[in-house]
Amino acid sequence: MIVVERGGHVLLIKQLDHAALAGRFAGEWGNERFEAPTPRGSVVLAASRHDEGWREWDDERREDPERERSLHFLDVDINDYVELYARGIDRIAGLDVYAGLLVSMHGTGNVCGRWGIQPGIRLSHYDEVTWPAVIRRYVLEQEALQARLKLDLLGLSPEDRRSVFERRLWANYELLQAWDRLSLFLCRADPREPAGADLGVVPVSLEGCEVEALKVRSRSGKATVSPWPFRTARIDVEVALQGPEAPLRWMLTEEEAW
């Protein structure tokens, strides 16, 4: 659960609703400057359900006993964190091998500095004595899974160059990180207040050689990403909130509308 404290109120957003918003960005991505992801269907699925493992956790409404509210996703124990991600990865891989591969890479990147492109997820209460061993075991298990999934996709005698496959795979991974961060920004930002954030670097093409640093700025329910990476000049989105509150609504525009 994403927990946002705002004006004395607590807003709750399910991880799957946040992920669905990332999937929307994946589906809209691509224009004359930025190449669209391929295979599009698999990449959009991965973006839309990259946090699949949180499904049951959020449905159960795990409580934070210290704050007497729902447990924020960054406050979970590392053992729970890697277990739920592994469960979600297996589920998506059973639906689509390429999507499962991307979700696995995302799951390991979260605890490994997003593999060098952006700051990674930093869970609360980090324990330098016990946590690295848990993370190392999880990453090694997932990389073994990734190797099997790649073999399923490529076969024993691939027709195309493995290096091209890997470049495009990692470009899609880096795009997923930008969609994830943009969605998280819109989930946590107050539409009434000005805000901004760096979204990290993204590849301009799936060859991955040229990159752009993306920034997002928001104010009065409107937001813009610079440089603009989407196929249309405007995208209207909303973020579902748990409880009686109305959803958060945002208008993303190519030009700053303030």
Average pLDDT of adjacent 10-residue blocks, the chain of 258 residues: 84 94 98 97 98 91 72 86 95 98 96 80 78 94 98 91 95 96 95 93 92 95 96 94 85 78
pLDDT at 119: 66
d(CA 244, CA 199): 31
Q: What is the pLDDT of residue 131?
A: 86
What are the Cα distances from residue 207, in Å, to 98, 102, 148, 160? 17, 17, 23, 14
Q: Quick one: pLDDT at residue 141?
A: 98
What is the model's pLDDT at position 120? 57
Residue 6 pLDDT: 81
Supply the pLDDT for residue 67. Answer: 67
Cβ contacts of 226 within 8 Å, gap of 6 or more: 214, 215, 216, 217
Give residue 237's pLDDT.
Answer: 95
Quick one: CA torsion of 99, 104, 107, 112, rounded to 10 degrees?
-130
